[in-house]
């Protein structure tokens, strides 16, 4: 990760973990484009196409980030056995995904450990 990165990408138990760094605490318009580029690159490089997005350091995102989530999902879905899950959501961020019913599309987990255990069981 460079100092300018918004992501820390690792692999844990066969799952590609994309952790948003503290630079992505508030996902607003000025950082949306570079953050989206990093997330799409991580999704494209994910082998297998299984990604856990750890948002534990993010306290706010605007509606533009919802499009980013869809783009990540489409990138992963281009390959068989794709899976996108999200963990570590702060209450406001979780509420946005629940109100828009996106929690039905992507599983939401409280912690990284909980998400990894569930993703391994699939």
Give the pLDDT score at 72: 98
Domains and CATH numbers, the chain: 7-121 (3.30.750.24)
What's the rounded Cα separation, in Å, for the pair 88 and 70? Answer: 19
pLDDT tens digits along 68-102: 999 999 999 999 999 999 999 999 999 999 999 99
Q: Residue 17 is encoded by which pair of tokens?
A: 């973990």
Specify the pTM.
0.94
What's the rounded Cα separation, in Å, for the pair 51 and 30? Answer: 25
Whether the bond into 18 is cis, omega within 30 of 0: no
The beta strands (E) that lie in the chain are given as 7-12, 15-20, 26-27, 50-54, 60-61, 83-87, 108-109
């Amino acid at each position: 990760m460079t100092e300018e990165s918004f992501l820390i990408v690792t692999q844990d138990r066969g799952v590609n973990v994309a952790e948003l760094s503290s630079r992505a605490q508030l996902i607003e318009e000025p950082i949306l484009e570079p953050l989206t580029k990093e997330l799409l690159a991580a999704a494209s490089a994910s082998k297998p196409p299984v990604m856990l997005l750890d948002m534990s350091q993010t306290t706010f995102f605007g509606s533009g980030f919802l499009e980013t989530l869809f783009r990540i999902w489409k990138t992963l879905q281009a390959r068989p056995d794709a899976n996108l899950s999200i963990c570590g959501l702060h209450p406001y961020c979780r509420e946005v995904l629940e109100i828009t019913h996106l929690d039905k599309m992507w599983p939401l987990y409280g912690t990284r450990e909980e998400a990894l255990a569930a993703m391994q069981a699939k």
